[in-house]
Structure formats: C-alpha cells, structure tokens
C-alpha cells in the first residue's frame, strides 16, 4: 500500500553562529557545522518515515530550508542536502525552493552553488539596517553586508528575494523604523516579512527585561509601526497578503501559502513540525538527540495530536482571517463580525470576511471571538 505524499517539504537546519538576543527557536550553536552528520541524518529520517518515497512517486511543489540558519551549511552542505532530497523525490519543474540565509553567510561563490543546486528563492534575515539595533539583537552581520548579500544573490541569478525585518524594538534603542523600511525597499526585494519583537522566556532579552535593563515597546509603538509598514510598503507596490507578509505581483510565498490554506506538509529535522491533513506531529528539539535517534534508526517524533472538530473549526477561522483571501464566513460569523466592520477592523464582501490592517492588529482576539 502506498500513501499519498504531501507536495511540500520543510527541512529544519538548526545551526546558528550564536543565539540572537530575542530568539527562542530550537537551534544548535556551532562554530564548525557538522554538515555530513546532518545530511546523513536527514536522509535516514526521510527513508525511515517515507519508505515509499522515490523520485518517480513523490513530487514536491515547494521545498523550504528553514532554521536556524540553513546558509550555515555553506556551498557544499546545501549541494549535498539538495542531492539527498533529490535522490528521494522530484522537484516539480516550477517548484519554489527557498533557503533562509543570514547576510554574513552569503558570498558570491556560496550563492552560485546554491543556485546550481536548485535554490530559486532566498529569504534574507536582515532584521534592521541600524548598527546599534543589530548589535543589540546579537546579529552577526553588519548593515553593509545586507546590501552586499542582495547584490550577490541577484548576480547569481536568484531574483526572488525576501527580506525579514523586525519591528517594535525597545524605544530606548532609538531605531528609525521608517528608515529601515526605506532601505529595505531600496534593495528592491520581491517579498518582505515583518516580525513584531516578542519577549520569549529563557532568552537573553527576557533576562535583560527581568533585570530592568530593557523596557519593551508599548502596544502603541507596535501598532504605529505595523500600520506605518502597511502604508509605506503598499505605497511601494507591495501587496499585504498575510498579516506579516508583503509581496510584489507573483511573488507570494507558495510554501507558506500551503500552511495557511491547510494543505499537508512534511517536516524533517530537529523540532520540525508536520501536518498530514488531520494530524500534527513534531520532532524532538535538541539536535544531538535527533541525531542519536536517527543513528539508532528510530523515528525522532516527540509528540503528535489529531485535530479535534473544535481545533479544525478554530483553525479554519484563524487561517482565513490571517490572509487577504479572507474567511468564507457562515451567516452567524458574518453577523458577529458586523461590529468589526463598523470599527474599521474588517470588510465583508459577499460571504467573505477580510480583516483590515487595523483588524490584523487584533487577529488573535478576533479569531477567538468567532470560535
Ligand atoms: S539567526 Fe535566526 S534562528 Fe539563529 S539565533 Fe538568530 S534569530 Fe534565532
């Protein structure tokens, strides 16, 4: 018996040069990245969990190398990872193949090798162009390295470039958000992703806050900067198509769109999550444990849950409201949302309920109110 294999694959590459001050992701800080060990473990995980996979049977529409910092695998590591993947499945002719990269890892030779290996979209972790903000965030790159990276990526023939920026930094840093937006736009990316700074426990930032060394940005700053980004990026021709995402025509992230539309996907690597249409599963987080389990030919699963009817209903609402496609709302949902329309938080067009940027600022509360 064969199983229907998802058309989307996420590979979590956990390595980072150091931990950024705000980051609580599952990462492995390594100066020397164990490329061969990692790629071999990915191969074992794919073979163990998808024994029916083969290039004839398994075709992908999107492949996303996320992290962590996949660019830390370098030219050879990405080529070897892509070989391992291709040995087991086929990338559709128009597949979107994304790598997340930090600017300090992007050299002309590395990005040429990534392009040759099949990468056609690069998501660059810029976060800010302000040297003081970059140092405060413990980022390993300089602001000059961001533009040099974009030039190198383009020179290698990758035009689909996304830039990540963080907003709502503590006001004491004096970061000029408007200037950062302008500098990102000047690089002419096809996509921009924005993240509002959140203080996660057990991060350097949480310790600074607890000691009183840092005061978080107030909610008004979060709202002002979110709305400014909407205004500036929309004026520059970007479509605000998801609460955190902006794209030029034809450059929406197809991989993320699969998550948002409830499609199934496979996730491999430490801490990788996966969804098969009704069940979520996630892998153990620590890199060493993930490798150990795979060496012993054991599934690195840490947990799973089958979505209940209520979970699915809540997810339908949340996923619908987070994108500009909106939610096909039931009569009772449309009736509940009338007040939001009057408040300027939503628009109702026929049966479709769409949040405005003002509404996206309240996404969690509005989704919860409907469910
Ligand atoms: S580079 Fe990304 S994943 Fe790594 S520590 Fe920084 S924010 Fe976290």
In the reported structure, the alpha carbon of residue 271 is separated from the centroid of ligand 1 by a whole-number distance in angstroms of 14
Distance, CA of 245 to CA of 254 (rounded, Å): 12
pLDDT of 4 above 60: yes
pLDDT of 191 above 50: yes
Going by pLDDT thresholds of 50, 70 and 90, the confidence category of residue 320 is very high
What's residue 56's pLDDT?
85
- The alpha carbon of residue 354 and the mean position of all alpha carbons in its chain are separated, in whole angstroms, by 22
What digits encode the pLDDT tens for the residues 329-340?
999 999 999 999
What's residue 53's pLDDT?
75
Average pLDDT for 31-50:
96
Q: Is the CB of 170 under 6 A from ligand 1?
A: no
Residue having the nearest C-alpha atom to atom 3 of ligand 1: 68
What's residue 57's pLDDT?
87
Q: Is the CB of 23 under 6 A from ligand 1?
A: yes
Residue having the nearest C-alpha atom to atom 6 of ligand 1: 20
Give the number of other CB atoms < 10 A from CB of residue 354: 19
pLDDT of 257 above 70: yes
Q: Is the CB of 140 under 6 A from ligand 1?
A: no
What's residue 1's pLDDT?
43
What's residue 315's pLDDT?
93
In the reported structure, the alpha carbon of residue 78 is separated from the centroid of ligand 1 by a whole-number distance in angstroms of 18
Mutate to test the pocket of ligand 1, among 14, 17, 20 (most ligand atoms within 8 A of CB): 20
Verdict on whether the full-model pTM lies above 0.75: yes
Average pLDDT for 312-339:
95
**Percentage of the chain lying above the pLDDT 70 cut:** 99
DSSP 216-281: PPPHHHHHHHHHHHHHHHHHTT-EEEETTEEE-TT-S-HHHHHHHTT--BEEESTT-EEE-SSEEE
What's residue 233's pLDDT?
98
Going by pLDDT thresholds of 50, 70 and 90, the confidence category of residue 33 is very high
In the reported structure, the alpha carbon of residue 16 is separated from the centroid of ligand 1 by a whole-number distance in angstroms of 6
Average pLDDT for 75-79:
98
Residues 366 and 360: beta-carbon distance below 8 Å: no
What's residue 107's pLDDT?
97
Mean of the per-residue pLDDT values of the chain = 96
Going by pLDDT thresholds of 50, 70 and 90, the confidence category of residue 3 is low
Average pLDDT for 252-259:
97
pLDDT of 2 above 60: no
Q: Is the CB of 14 under 6 A from ligand 1?
A: no
Q: Is the CB of 20 under 6 A from ligand 1?
A: yes
In the reported structure, the alpha carbon of residue 17 is separated from the centroid of ligand 1 by a whole-number distance in angstroms of 8
Atom from ligand 1 closest to the CA of residue 137: 6
Atom from ligand 1 closest to the CA of residue 18: 5
For the chain, first and last CA: distance in Å?
Answer: 38
Average pLDDT for 187-208:
96
């Amino acid at each position: 018996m064969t199983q229907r294999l998802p058309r989307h694959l996420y590979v979590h590459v956990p390595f980072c040069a150091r931990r950024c001050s705000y980051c609580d992701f599952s990462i492995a800080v390594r100066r020397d990245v164990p490329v061969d060990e990692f790629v071999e473990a990915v191969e074992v995980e794919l073979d163990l969990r998808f024994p029916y996979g083969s290039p004839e049977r398994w075709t992908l529409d999107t492949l996303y190398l996320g992290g962590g910092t996949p660019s830390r695998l370098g030219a050879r590591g990405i080529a070897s990872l892509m070989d391992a993947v291709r040995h087991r499945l086929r990338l559709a002719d128009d597949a979107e193949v994304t790598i997340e990269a930090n600017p300090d890892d992007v050299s002309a030779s590395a990005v040429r090798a990534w392009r040759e290996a099949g990468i056609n979209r690069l998501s660059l972790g810029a976060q800010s162009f302000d040297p003081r903000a970059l140092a405060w965030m413990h980022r390993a790159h300089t602001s000059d390295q961001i533009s040099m990276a974009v030039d190198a990526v383009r020179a290698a023939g990758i035009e689909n470039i996304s830039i990540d920026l963080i907003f709502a930094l503590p006001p004491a840093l004096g970061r000029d958000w408007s200037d950062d937006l302008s500098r990102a736009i000047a690089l002419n990316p096809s996509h921009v992703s924005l993240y509002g700074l959140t203080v996660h426990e057990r991060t350097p930032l949480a310790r600074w806050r607890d000691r009183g060394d840092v005061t978080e940005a107030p909610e008004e700053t979060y709202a002002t900067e979110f709305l400014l980004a909407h205004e500036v990026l929309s004026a520059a021709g970007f479509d605000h198509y998801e609460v955190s995402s902006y794209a030029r025509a034809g450059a929406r992230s197809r991989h993320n769109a699969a998550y948002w539309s409830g499609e199934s996907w496979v996730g491999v690597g430490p801490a990788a999550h996966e969804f098969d249409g009704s069940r979520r599963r996630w892998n153990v987080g620590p890199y060493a444990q993930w490798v150990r389990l795979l060496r012993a030919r054991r599934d690195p699963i840490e947990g799973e849950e089958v979505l209940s009817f209520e979970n699915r209903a809540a997810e339908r609402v949340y996923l619908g409201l987070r994108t500009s496609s909106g939610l096909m709302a039931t009569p009772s949902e449309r009736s509940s949302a009338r007040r939001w329309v009057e408040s300027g938080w939503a628009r109702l067009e026929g049966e479709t309920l769409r949040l405005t940027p003002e509404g996206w600022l309240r996404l969690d509360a509005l989704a919860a109110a409907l469910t």
